[in-house]
Chain A
Amino acid sequence: MKLDASQSVGPLRPSSPFPFETDPIKKKDETFGDMLKRVVDEANELQITADDQKMKLALGEVQDIHEVMIAMEKAGLALQLTLEIRDRLVTAYETLMRTAM
């Protein structure tokens, strides 16, 4: 087997049938602003899904309780991520403003 630069030197694991595992964090040609928007959109999506699950639960249309709990957890994580990013951006901005001439 020829070794070349296109093969990453990472932890040994079988090649995955799940192509999404190799999704880059930042997509090609995406600006920072685009990425931020994408994060917010995803958080929004998950929040909508969680609300939907909560409504279904109240109406008795849910099949398994863990679906609702997982949806809420995912929404919560996404929200937390968004808030973290916002907080750090604000902090970075403030730091920048303090050092400006």
Chain B
Amino acid sequence: MGTNNLFTSIDTSASGLTAQRLRMDVIAGNIANVDSTRTPEGGPFKRQLVVFASKSDVTFRKFPFLPMKIKTKMDSPGDGVKVLEVMKDPAPPRLRYEPGHPDANEEGYVAYPNVDVVKEMVDMISASRAYEANVTSINAAKGMFSHALSIGK
């Protein structure tokens, strides 16, 4: 399934850093565009979200009807996470009654992006903490590695 070599742990954590960093960028983009009622492709800005998946994705969710053992034996520690895609949130835009707005429709409603700033901030904090956790993992791996170098000294 996956490999297991000298720097597997660090590679795995690095993939976590990359994924969370991308997630933070996407969240930042959502927040920046919270009031963008106009986009090049027409209509208001649509909230974006990231879809994560483990790199060697052998999850059982593809076979939801098989009986699940409480613990499954694994062959290798796994090699991290990847961003499958950055997709647009299909939720409908928020409508606000602003008849004077240049982007208002016939009834006077303006379609605002489906972005909830509070939710985005919470997400951002979560992504930031997850990023830090991956940094901690790398530091632990580095510490263990250099300790091993002084065996017998």
Contact = CB atoms under 8 A, between A and B. Distances in A.
Q: How large is the interface on B (under 10, 10 to 19, 20 to 34, 35 or more residues)?
A: under 10
A53 B153 CA distance: 19
Interface stretch (B12-20, B28-36, B100-108, B143-151): B143-151
A65 B6 CA distance: 6
Interface string A51-63: 0000001001111
A29 interface: no
A65 B145 contact: yes
A18 to B, nearest CB: 23
B5 interface: yes
A49 to B, nearest CB: 15
B6 A60 contact: yes
A69 B152 contact: yes
A65 B149 contact: yes
Contact of A70 (B6, B8, B145, B151): B151
A65 B148 contact: yes
B5 A62 contact: yes
Most buried by A among B8, B149, B151: B151
A70 B147 CA distance: 12
A26 interface: no
B5 A69 contact: no
A65 B8 CA distance: 12
B4 interface: yes
B6 A69 contact: no
Nearest to A68: B148
B146 to A, nearest CB: 9
Nearest to A66: B148
Contacts of B8: 63
Contact of A63 (B5, B145, B148, B151): B5
A33 to B, nearest CB: 31
Contacts of B148: 64-66, 69
Interface string B129-153: 0000000000000000100110110
Interface of A: 57, 60-66, 69-70, 73, 76
Interface of B: 4-6, 8, 145, 148-149, 151-152
